[in-house]
């Protein structure tokens, strides 16, 4: 949605929001599920049984076509390859072993100018743009046309949903980053339903002890076959359901996204919902995907995007050694990502998976960015705060520190566009997530302290969580306003 439609949605009554969501759902179902989707997911199913040698040959063909396209159609890559001494003739014989000859694509420059990796044709009429969930005020814009969108869903249908025994066409629930409720103190229902895609969208910022019965009522009413969304958001809801002793619908599968699925989170999800949880790793840039098979291993999909796991010296990390994920995507032929440094860390495995999909490499471990969980005054838990800084001019970096349950300190590194009204906007966005009772102080700083890995933690909380009390929660539970 655009800014004006977001404002109109927030000011509308629930019934009008539902109409808007279903119109939106109709449009997106037509964009995401079409002929490209049908043909592509079936091709991914066929390739997963290939022997490794045949898969490598296919991947090299995809790589060769993508680097040639980049050289011929993207001025940025043409100049960058030439500076590295790579000629067009060499690209015609390009192999996986030649990848280290190409330069890295860095996030910093890409955030400032994401159009620089668009093909010349796409630059004249850019496809729809989507923002990554970055932690700075300038998240990366990623451009997808309908074919890329369908390709992205097709690989997930074939290698994520299908592996979990479900389909993306099945009724599903979602806890994601889009704020479907206008304010932290909004009244129930804390969900909206998209009839076109049979999707129950649950608010990620209202999961608190007093609100959980409304979430449970929605799950028991719409009976999703699959529960999807942020790993932390799904875990917070499941833990409160467990602590309050509520009876809840059991889906066929849970698929977690966006954050690492920790062992304790998996245990709670599978205990509460009496089903299996499957982990999925990907990015909005649409050039890497790892999904969990039925044997519990996390597989990479090199026919979707080729992954290098590199040590700090730029050489391939040894088995058991942590390295950075560097990706070259194949699905997007409009905005081309070659040797893109994601900043995510992983450990590659040389072991074969008992599932028999030997052409799909296994990750021993995936090390995501570790952030603390903020505990709101009413007990709600929120782990994702990137929207506080997203599309906010004047902020190069931002960090949120919770000092007490109602007290927050926000550090920002200003850039040349900074004005003091940015502070008020940050306070407003924080209140929209946690309620007007909080106190937010915003301070500018020259730099945010880094951790030993060279990164900074976006969210630090010094507040300990207390288990929910059933009697207290049920006494405060608001009536359903739907």
In terms of Cα–Cα distance, which of 139, 115, 177 is closest to 396? 139
pLDDT of residue 218: 96
Q: 136 falls in which pLDDT band (50, 70, 90)?
A: very low
Alpha-carbon gap, residue 134 to 155, rounded angstroms: 24
Between 75-83 and 52-73, two packed helices, what is the crossing angle to 10 degrees? 110
In terms of Cα–Cα distance, which of 362, 439, 432, 372 is closest to 408? 439
pLDDT of residue 116: 95
pLDDT of residue 4: 63
Per residue in 70-128, pLDDT (tens digit) is: 999 999 999 999 999 999 999 999 999 999 999 999 988 888 889 999 999 999 998 88
pLDDT of residue 445: 92
> How does DSSP classify residue 245?
T
pLDDT of residue 264: 92
As a whole number, mean pLDDT of residues 397-421 equals 90
Q: Model pTM greater than 0.75?
A: yes
- Helical spans, DSSP H, in 48-187: 52-73, 75-83, 88-91, 107-112, 120-124, 146-156
As a whole number, mean pLDDT of residues 185-206 equals 88
* 340-349 sheet: strands from edge to edge: 191-194, 199-202, 172-175, 226-230, 253-257, 276-282, 289-292, 298-300, 362-367, 340-349, 322-329, 305-310
pLDDT of residue 137: 47
pLDDT of residue 121: 94
pLDDT of residue 11: 67
As a whole number, mean pLDDT of residues 29-40 equals 87
Give the lowest-confidence range in 38-42, 143-147, 166-170: 143-147
In terms of Cα–Cα distance, which of 165, 203, 164, 172 is closest to 29? 172
What is the CB neighbour count within 10 angstroms for residue 343? 15
Average pLDDT, the chain: 88
In terms of Cα–Cα distance, which of 427, 398, 390 is closest to 178? 390
Query: Is the model's pLDDT at 343 over the cut of 90?
Result: no
pLDDT of residue 350: 86
Per residue in 436-469, pLDDT (tens digit) is: 889 999 999 988 887 765 667 888 889 888 887 6
Per residue in 419-437, pLDDT (tens digit) is: 989 999 999 999 988 888 8
As a whole number, mean pLDDT of residues 371-392 equals 81
What is the token pair recorded at 317? 């990390």
pLDDT of residue 472: 53
Give the lowest-confidence range in 27-36, 256-265, 378-387, 450-459: 450-459
| Higher-confidence position of 323 and 29 | 323
Between 231-244 and 263-273, two packed helices, what is the crossing angle to 10 degrees? 50
Q: 3 falls in which pLDDT band (50, 70, 90)?
A: low
The percent of residues above 70 in pLDDT, for the chain, comes to 91
pLDDT of residue 160: 97
pLDDT of residue 128: 81
Provide CB contacts within 8 A for 195, sequence distance 6+. 22, 25
As a whole number, mean pLDDT of residues 239-244 equals 95
pLDDT of residue 384: 72
Please give the domain boundaries of the chain with CATH numbers for all domains.
3-367 (3.40.50.12780), 374-476 (3.30.300.30)
Range with top average pLDDT, 58-67, 184-193, 396-405, 466-475: 58-67
Query: Is the model's pLDDT at 366 over the cut of 50?
Result: yes
pLDDT of residue 389: 85
Q: Look up tokens 């006494």; give the residue.
A: 475
Per residue in 243-274, pLDDT (tens digit) is: 999 999 999 999 999 888 999 999 999 999 99
Q: 204 falls in which pLDDT band (50, 70, 90)?
A: confident
pLDDT of residue 355: 96
């Amino acid at each position: 949605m655009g800014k004006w439609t977001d404002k109109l949605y927030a000011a509308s009554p629930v019934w009008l929001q539902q109409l808007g969501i279903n119109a939106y759902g109709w449009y997106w179902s037509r964009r995401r599920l079409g002929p490209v989707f049908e043909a592509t997911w079936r091709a991914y199913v066929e390739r997963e049984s290939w022997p490794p040698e045949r898969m490598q040959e296919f991947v090299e063909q995809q790589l060769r076509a993508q680097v040639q396209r980049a050289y011929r159609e993207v001025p940025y890559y043409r100049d960058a390859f030439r500076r590295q001494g790579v000629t067009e003739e060499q690209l015609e014989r390009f192999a996986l072993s030649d990848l280290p000859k190409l330069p890295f694509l860095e996030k910093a420059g890409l955030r400032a100018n994401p159009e620089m990796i668009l093909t010349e044709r796409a630059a004249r009429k850019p496809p729809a743009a989507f923002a990554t969930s970055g932690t700075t005020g300038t998240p990366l814009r990623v451009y997808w046309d309908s074919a890329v969108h369908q390709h992205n869903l097709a690989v997930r249908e074939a290698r994520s949903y299908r592996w979990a025994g479900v389909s993306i066409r099945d009724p599903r629930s979602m806890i994601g980053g889009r704020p479907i409720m206008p304010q932290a103190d909004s009244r129930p229902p804390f969900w909206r339903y998209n009839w076109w895609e049979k999707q129950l969208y649950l608010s990620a910022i209202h999961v608190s002890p007093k609100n959980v019965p409304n979430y449970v009522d929605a799950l028991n009413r719409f009976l999703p076959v699959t529960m999807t969304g942020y790993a932390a958001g799904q875990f917070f809801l499941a833990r409160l359901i467990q602590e309050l002793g509520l009876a809840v619908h059991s889906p066929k599968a849970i698929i977690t996204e966006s954050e690492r699925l920790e062992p304790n989170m998996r245990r709670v999800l599978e205990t509460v919902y009496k089903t299996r949880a499957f982990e999925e790793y990907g990015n909005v840039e649409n050039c890497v995907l790892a999904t969990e098979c039925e044997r519990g291993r996390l597989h990479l999909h090199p026919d979707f995007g080729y992954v290098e796991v590199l040590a700090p010296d730029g050489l391939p990390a040894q088995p058991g050694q942590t390295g950075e994920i560097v990706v070259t995507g194949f699905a997007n032929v409009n905005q081309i990502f070659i040797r893109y440094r994601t900043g995510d860390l992983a450990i590659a495995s040389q072991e074969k998976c008992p599932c028999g999909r030997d052409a799909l490499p296994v990750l021993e471990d995936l090390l995501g960015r570790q952030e603390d969980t903020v505990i709101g005054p009413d007990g709600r838990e929120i782990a994702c705060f990137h929207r506080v800084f997203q599309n906010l001019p004047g902020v190069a970096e931002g960090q949120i520190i919770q000092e007490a349950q109602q007290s927050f300190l926000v550090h920002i590194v200003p850039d040349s566009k900074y004005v003091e009204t940015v502070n008020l906007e940050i306070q407003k966005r924080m209140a929209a997530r946690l309620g007007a009772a909080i106190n937010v102080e915003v301070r500018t700083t020259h730099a945010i302290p880094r951790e030993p890995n060279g990164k900074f933690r976006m969210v630090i909380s010094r507040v300990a969580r207390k288990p929910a009390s059933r009697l207290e929660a049920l006494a405060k539970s608001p009536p359903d306003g739907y």
